[in-house]
Structure formats: C-alpha cells, structure tokens
Amino acid sequence: MQAATSVRANAFPSLTQALLAVESVLLGGGQRTARRNAWTAVIEDRRRAKDRVEAQHVLEAVATRSS
C-alpha cells in the first residue's frame, strides 16, 4: 500500500496576490499610490455617511421621545 501523497498548500497564488502582481506590472508606482489613496478616500466617505445616518436616527429618536 502506498502512502498518501501530501498536497502542497498555496500551490496557486490567491486572487488578491494575482491582481496585485498584474497591478504592479501595469501601473507605475505613482498611479498605484494615487489609486489606493482614492479608494481609501471612498471608504472614509462611506464611513462618514454611515455615521451621519446613525446620528440622524439617534437625534430623531430623541426628538420623538421628548415630544
């Protein structure tokens, strides 16, 4: 009887690693930094918008309760 052969983990790069490799080939360092900065700004804007909506709900609840 033959022993089971071990399967090598991470034989293929993850999708994220593959996309980062393609990005590094296609984009120069400055473009990559600008794109990442823009995405960070989008994420931060979304977070602030979510915080505004939550604050509005709290204020409306307080106003309704005190009326």
Examine the pLDDT at 7 and tell me if it is beyond 60.
no
Give the containing element (helix H, strand E) for 8.
Answer: none
Name the residue ranges covered by the structural domains of the chain. 15-66
pLDDT at residue 11 in the model: 59
pTM of the entire predicted model: 0.53
Structure tokens at 14: 């993850």
Q: Could you tell me which residue, 9 or 66, shows the higher pLDDT?
A: 66
Name, in order, each residue with C-beta under 8 angstroms of 13's C-beta and a sequence gap of 6 or more: 21
Q: What is the pLDDT of residues 24-44, one digit of tens each?
A: 788 777 888 888 899 999 999
